[in-house]
Chain A
Amino acid sequence: MNPQIENLYRDGEPSEVTIREFLQSSQFPLTEPGHVTFVFQGQADEVNLRRWISGFNTSLPMQTLEGTDLWILRMELPNKSRFEYKFELVRGGNRELVLDKLNKVVAHDPFGANSVCQGYGYKRPAWTRHHPETRPGTLTGFQMYSQAFEGHRDIQVYLPARFRRSRSYPLLVVHDGADYLRYANFETVLNNLIHRLEIPAMIVAMTQSPDRLVEYTGDTRQARFIGEELLQEMNSKFPLIDNHRSRGLMGASLGGVASLHTARQYPKRFGQLLLQSGSFAFSDLGKHQKGPIFDPVVRFVNEYRKNPIPVAEKLYVSCGIYESLIYENRSLVPLLQAQGMQVNFEEARDAHNWENWRDRLRNGLSWLFPGPLWMVYE
């Protein structure tokens, strides 16, 4: 049992006042080396912990604490791990998913919000938070017509602090750019890493698909849009270094698939690829089990596995070990390395979520685009 819970019963069954004090003075979930304890207070027929961890039983029943209206669940969790969760309340046959009211740490994504369990020792990196001394860049945007999609697309553009038209900058193109900005503090991260000289001042083009389940699954229109049209447009509008080594492409989940697919269609157009928890589904034998949305992904990945070629100079690939995609990502890495590309693969004790992707940005971006910190002392 968690020592804080044990302490609650030190003088027998806890009174309402003792429970209130315990709830007010503790940080939830309760963490200790190697373990975490979830606590829910309230009336219900059943309370389950629903974990957004792939490859595990994602629903775990919580137990009532004798003589109280508290429900608890203690489980193993390696130090510094992170995952997202909700409580499932069963009342009169109805099931409802709710946030953990005792936990203030919440992560947002396009589907809503989840409570975040931060294992013992996890600390949110300082460079993901606003720093008053950091000179901020600016966000601007434009709309362009895409022949590939036969329609208009909105592009958000990050310009670094002290941007000058007389200078030339590296370019990074981001799939799901608006989501990176909203859920992964991307603007703050870029500001901080540039300010700390860990990456060079760069221009970042952020795209957002209106139909990513189609366009990010190995769609040649998407590849043409990014690899030809967007690059042409960015080159005409901004001072960019005209060299593939100074050009990067990135994305998470299906955005990772779209990045690799575009790089495959336009080899070496992007020197640097950053692929986070890429949904690189494939089948060695028979039909895959991931549903029809993944049919084109599997076709593309199977084809690439069969006929691999070098697509970039350097790739940073990351994946959480609490997501089922770890298998696909681990399988892909040796294949990429065998093409002579430099691959930096990072596994994190985390799952398929934006904060995992946020926490890996420093390692990924500073490896692909090393900043001038060694030589520059401002």
Chain B
Amino acid sequence: MVMQILLGPQSPAPNLRQAIESIQADGPIVTITAGWRDSEGEVEELREIAGHPLEDLMLYQRTEQVFANEPALYELQRERQEKLKELQRLYRIRLAPTITAARRLLRTRAEADLLKLEQRAAIAQLRALDTHHLRRIQTIHQDFNQRRAGLEAPQASAQRDEVHQLVKNAGLVLIAGGHVAVLLNRIRLFGLDQLLALKPVIAWSAGAMAMSDRIVLFHQAAPQGKRDAELLDAGLGIVRKRVLLPHADTRLDWRNHKRMALFSRRFSPATCCTLDNGSVLHLDDGKIVAAKDSFIVTRTGRKRAVSTV
């Protein structure tokens, strides 16, 4: 049995220390703060919050060093990122009309039987688009992995071995929030996906998002107006069938039940779980066994406490 704990943002009231104490780690604690990018490794404040010694894996900086010395690998990575960026742009072009249609159908009035089927079909189209997008992303990752396997990259291999050893020796891995795409990318570059699945992990905000099998970007209160939620990538898949929503209190428009209902139904059968400051989800082998201050978005766009079934 492997214990994972997912938390919300650690500000203003951190709850990381309680989470660490509940795990009773058998070995040193290592941190992944690659999502902080060039502030990676500045863990003094985190040490204070955690109340334990921490060692950062420095995935972001290690990657920068590797790329500086392994130009072929850097070029491969750059090419992948360009493709992913372009694919996301194309996805957005298709997403806008598809989601607009679904939203309009959820708002319009018509004979109930007629309307229900059209609404279902519109949401199914939206799901199909997300699934298609995810498949395309996977193809790009597979291509990258195949080409990378054929590359001689001794520095990358050495760094990877070193990081793997640190993780193997660790009793607990903490994954901090930050830039979710960078965080996920660095974890993958070091091939930590499978290793992390076997370790006790505490992850919060973007760290928690990266643990799931679907990463959804969202913000309905952005200064330049509401933006439709987008599927970014698959995540590590350690937590399955959960869309994790940090800062849900401020980022989601809870007063707009129709919008929230569509959000929930679009990602079904996955359950959308909020992770705000103070939230805790305890998972055992990926299943939720205890929850505090975390809510799911219901089919009708409302909040309901996460059940621990």
Interface residues of A (CB under 8 A from B): 132-133, 162, 164, 166-167, 198, 362-363, 366-367, 370, 372-378
Contact = CB atoms under 8 A, between A and B. Distances in A.
B205 interface: yes
Given A133-B11, A363-B223, A377 B178 contact: yes
Contact of B224 (A370, A375, A377): A370
Interface in B142-185: 177-182
Given A133-B11, A133-B12, A363-B223, A374 B217 contact: yes
Nearest to B218: A374
Interface of B: 9, 11-12, 35, 38-39, 177-182, 205-206, 209, 217, 219, 222-224, 227, 246-247
27 contacts: A132-B12, A133-B11, A133-B12, A162-B39, A166-B38, A167-B39, A198-B223, A362-B223, A363-B223, A363-B224, A366-B224, A367-B223, A370-B224, A373-B219, A373-B222, A374-B222, A375-B179, A375-B217, A376-B177, A377-B9, A377-B177, A377-B178, A377-B209, A377-B247, A378-B11, A378-B178, A378-B206
Contacts of A378: 9, 11, 177-178, 205-206
B236 to A, nearest CB: 15
A376 B11 contact: no
B180 A377 contact: yes
A318 to B, nearest CB: 14
A43 B219 CA distance: 55
| Chain A contact surface mostly | loop
B168 to A, nearest CB: 28
Given A376-B178, A377-B246, A378-B178, 9 more contacts: A164-B38, A366-B224, A373-B219, A373-B222, A374-B227, A375-B179, A376-B180, A376-B206, A377-B9
A366 B223 contact: yes
A153 B121 CA distance: 66
Contacts of A167: 38-39
A166 B38 CA distance: 8
| Interface residues of chain B: helix, strand, loop or mixed (majority) | mixed
Contacts of A370: 224
Contacts, number: 52
A377 B181 CA distance: 10
A163 to B, nearest CB: 11
B178 A374 contact: no
Contact of B219 (A133, A164, A362, A374): A374
Nearest to A166: B38
A363 B179 CA distance: 23
B287 to A, nearest CB: 23
A367 B181 contact: no
A376 B258 CA distance: 26
A132 B13 CA distance: 12
A377 B206 contact: yes
A366 B222 CA distance: 9
Contacts of A133: 11-12
A362 B222 CA distance: 10
B206 A164 contact: no
* Most interface-central of B12, B182, B222 (chain A CB within 10 A): B222
A191 to B, nearest CB: 14
A370 B182 CA distance: 18
Nearest to A162: B39
Contacts of B246: 377
Contacts of B227: 374
A376 B179 contact: yes
A132 B11 CA distance: 11
Nearest to B12: A133
Which A-B residue pairs are the 10 nearest by beta carbons? Answer: A366-B223, A377-B206, A377-B205, A377-B246, A378-B177, A133-B12, A198-B223, A167-B38, A377-B177, A376-B179
Output the residue of A362, A366, A372, A378 with the most chain B CB within 10 A: A378
A361 to B, nearest CB: 10
Nearest to B250: A196
A317 to B, nearest CB: 16
Nearest to B244: A377
A376 B33 CA distance: 13
Given A133-B12, A377-B246, A378-B206, A372 B38 contact: no
B229 to A, nearest CB: 10
Nearest to B209: A377
A167 B42 CA distance: 13
From A133, A167, A366, A376, name the one whose CB has the most chain B CB atoms within 10 angstroms: A376
B10 to A, nearest CB: 8
Contacts of A377: 9, 177-178, 180, 205-206, 209, 246-247
A376 B218 CA distance: 10
